[in-house]
């Protein structure tokens, strides 16, 4: 199992480039199921979740060519024949986003068999809202030996009000609705940029969608979608992680090839912490503004502070003067990084959904364990300012969602290296 060895103390200086968003790429790859034509996606990040999705689509009969070596990280997907519309447990168990194939599979083939998902261990993470929505659209869904089996002749448009805002749930039903008979009206939808990105691809494929990026989405079903070419948005969570890396190390970092509009909540929070931020059209420069100041966060759906940045922000809060509270509203078990940060010397207590971080504490190097994707990033950030050499175990969690993370950080002065199997050979 790969490990990272990180020696703290260097301010990060220079320019670091952001890759395409994993959380946009995953639904966009699933959207290719909706047509027999070729879908070409650019700016696909080279991360393990994408490789898992490639395996998933290929196992169903799709042709997928991941073109990392070529310009734009271009990927070609052709689902001319879906001979086996099954998302097998062996593949799904490592990635919860596999449930994203449920909607497009049933919409295209009238049948889908999808193993109940695994993925990050950050709470129960049910998919009941995906199921309820598809049932409202006319699918019959039964649970069979760890698999959901969905059947229908053709999905019918429906009026669905999500009980709770769900990102992949919105995406799953949006894809299903594109090929349903008649109109679908979805309310209380996720407004995340990844939903908008998916809607842009679906529209390019011939779907009739209004309101993506707002809480209400209307879809007029069509009988067929066609191929399209689409460029995936920059990864706002990777960009945010680098902004915190610049801030925590007291560096001067230009985070390039990002979409600053998607980073509003984080940027204003960093400014409250005393960090200097210059926003350009496709880059954000972060500089030390002297001592970091404590500030509270509460995670919310977009455009609020993202849950996917909570762990990284907590690393920063350990280095801020004063007390910060970090309230996690989206997932019930997303404080697994806390114990590891405490082992590095942080002063953090948890009460229910709120962690109280008392700064500023010097962090010490230690052997720490990554527990999920964003927790891993948080520990790397802490290690960048720790005294000595931190060893992070189980970085396979990080490899699920960050492209060439250690190489990018090394390029701006971090002392970080990988030990163990080379990524991609496991
Ligand atoms: C997506 C992101 C993930 C991010 C999360 C919240 C992808 C691939 N993953 O995950 O990185 O942390 O959004 O921004 O895009 N819920 C239900 N029933 C459901 C679905 C969700 O109760 O059927 C609950 C969840 O348990 C959670 C909340 O709704 O408490 C939000 O989850 P959701 O938005 O669905 O997260 P994901 O789409 O899985």
> Do 151 and 110 form a contact (C-beta atoms < 8 A)?
yes
Q: What 8-state DSSP symbol labels residue 199?
A: H
Q: How far is CA 25 from CA 42, 46, 204, 228, in A?
A: 9, 10, 15, 14
pTM reported for the whole predicted model: 0.96
Residue 142: what pLDDT? 93
122 pLDDT more than 70: no
Tokens of 155: 């999905």
Residue 201 pLDDT class (50, 70, 90 cuts)? very high
Which residue among 126, 168, 300 has the greatest number of ligand 1 atoms within 8 angstroms of its CB, and so is best to mutate?
A: 168
Q: Which atom of ligand 1 is nearest to the CA of 97?
A: 8
Residue 117: what pLDDT? 67
Q: Which atom of ligand 1 is nearest to the CA of 190?
A: 34
Distance 168 CA to ligand 1 centre (A): 6
Residue 332 pLDDT class (50, 70, 90 cuts)? confident
267 pLDDT more than 50: yes
What value does the mean pLDDT take over residues 151-161?
97
Tokens of 201: 């691809």
> Do 379 and 341 form a contact (C-beta atoms < 8 A)?
yes
Residue 425: what pLDDT? 42
Residue 192 pLDDT class (50, 70, 90 cuts)? very high
* Residue 238 Cβ contacting ligand 1 at under 6 Å: no
> Do 363 and 382 form a contact (C-beta atoms < 8 A)?
yes
Residue 1: what pLDDT? 84
Residue 423 pLDDT class (50, 70, 90 cuts)? very low
Q: Point out the least confidently predicted range of 104-108, 303-307, 329-333.
A: 329-333
Give the up-direction half-sphere exposure of residue 401: CA atoms within 13 A in the CB hemisphere: 27
Sheet holding 38-42, edge to edge: 63-67, 74-78, 38-42, 228-231
Q: Kindly compute the dihedral angle of the four CA atoms of residues 203, 205, 206, 209, in this order, to the nearest 10 degrees.
A: -30
233-253: per-residue pLDDT in tens? Answer: 999 999 999 999 999 999 999
Which residue among 23, 166, 175, 335 has the greatest number of ligand 1 atoms within 8 angstroms of its CB, and so is best to mutate?
A: 166
Residue 289: what pLDDT? 81
Distance 381 CA to ligand 1 centre (A): 24
Residue 426: what pLDDT? 38
Residue 333: what pLDDT? 82
8-44: per-residue pLDDT in tens? Answer: 999 999 999 999 999 999 999 999 999 999 999 999 9
Residue 66 pLDDT class (50, 70, 90 cuts)? confident
99 pLDDT more than 90: no
Distance 333 CA to ligand 1 centre (A): 13
- Give, using CA atoms, the residue closest to atom 12 of ligand 1: 308
What string of DSSP letters covers 305-326?
B-GGGHHHHHHHHTTSBEEEEE
- Distance, in Å, from the CA atom of 262 to the CA atom of 203, rounded to the nearest integer, reads 21
Q: Which one is predicted more confidently, 1 or 375?
A: 375
* Residue 99 Cβ contacting ligand 1 at under 6 Å: no
123 pLDDT more than 60: no
3-class SS at 168?
helix
Distance 376 CA to ligand 1 centre (A): 19
Sequence-ordered list of residues with C-beta below 8 angstroms from that of 300, at least 6 positions apart, any chain: 265, 329, 330
397 pLDDT more than 70: yes
3-class SS at 21?
coil
86 pLDDT more than 60: yes
Q: What percent of the chain has pLDDT over 70?
A: 95
- Give, using CA atoms, the residue closest to atom 31 of ligand 1: 166
Q: What 8-state DSSP symbol labels residue 297?
A: E
Residues with a catalytic annotation lie at 120
Residue 71: what pLDDT? 63
> Do 363 and 346 form a contact (C-beta atoms < 8 A)?
yes
- Distance, in Å, from the CA atom of 87 to the CA atom of 109, rounded to the nearest integer, reads 14
What value does the mean pLDDT take over residues 256-262?
98
Which residue among 20, 100, 169 has the greatest number of ligand 1 atoms within 8 angstroms of its CB, and so is best to mutate?
A: 169
């Amino acid at each position: 199992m790969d490990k990272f060895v990180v020696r703290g103390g260097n301010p990060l200086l220079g320019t670091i480039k952001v890759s395409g968003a994993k959380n946009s790429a995953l639904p966009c790859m699933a959207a290719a199921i909706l047509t027999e034509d070729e879908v070409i996606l650019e700016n696909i990040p080279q991360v393990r979740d994408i490789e898992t999705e490639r395996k998933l689509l290929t196992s169903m009969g799709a042709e997928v060519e991941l073109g990392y070596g070529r310009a734009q990280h271009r990927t070609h997907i052709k689902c001319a024949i879906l001979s086996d519309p099954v998302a097998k447990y062996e593949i799904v168990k490592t990635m919860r986003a596999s449930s994203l194939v449920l909607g497009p599979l049933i919409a295209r083939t009238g049948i889908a068999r999808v193993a109940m998902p695994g993925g990050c261990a950050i709470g129960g993470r049910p998919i009941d809202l995906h199921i309820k929505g598809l049932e409202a659209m006319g699918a019959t869904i039964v649970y069979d030996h760890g698999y959901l089996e969905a059947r229908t002749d053709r999905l019918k448009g429906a009026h669905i009000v999500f009980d709770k805002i769900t990102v992949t749930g919105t995406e799953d039903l949006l894809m299903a609705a594109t090929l349903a008979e008649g109109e679908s009206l979805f309310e209380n939808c996720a407004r995340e940029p990844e939903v908008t990105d998916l809607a842009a691809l679906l529209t390019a494929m011939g779907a009739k969608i209004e309101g993506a990026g707002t809480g209400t989405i209307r879809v007029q079903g069509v009988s067929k979608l066609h191929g399209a070419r689409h460029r995936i948005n920059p990864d706002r969570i990777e960009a945010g992680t680098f902004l915190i890396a610049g801030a925590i190390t007291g560096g001067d970092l230009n985070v390039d090839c990002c979409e600053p509009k998607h980073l509003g909540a984080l940027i204003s929070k960093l400014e409250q912490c005393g960090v200097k931020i210059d926003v350009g059209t496709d880059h954000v420069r972060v500089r030390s503004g002297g001592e970091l100041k404590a500030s509270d966060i509460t995670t919310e759906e977009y455009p609020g502070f993202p849950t996917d940045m909570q762990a990284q922000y907590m690393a920063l809060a350990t280095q801020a003067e004063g007390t910060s509270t970090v309230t996690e509203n989206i997932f019930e078990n997303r404080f697994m990084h806390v114990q590891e940060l405490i082992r590095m010397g942080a002063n953090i207590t948890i009460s229910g959904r709120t962690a109280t971080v008392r700064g500023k504490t010097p962090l010490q190097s230690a052997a720490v364990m990554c527990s999920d994707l964003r927790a891993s990033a948080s520990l790397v950030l802490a290690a960048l300012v720790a005294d000595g050499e931190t060893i992070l175990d189980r970085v396979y969690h990080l490899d699920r969602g960050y492209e060439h993370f250690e190489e990018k950080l090394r390029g701006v002065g971090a002392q970080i290296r990988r030990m163990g199997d080379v990524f991609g050979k496991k």
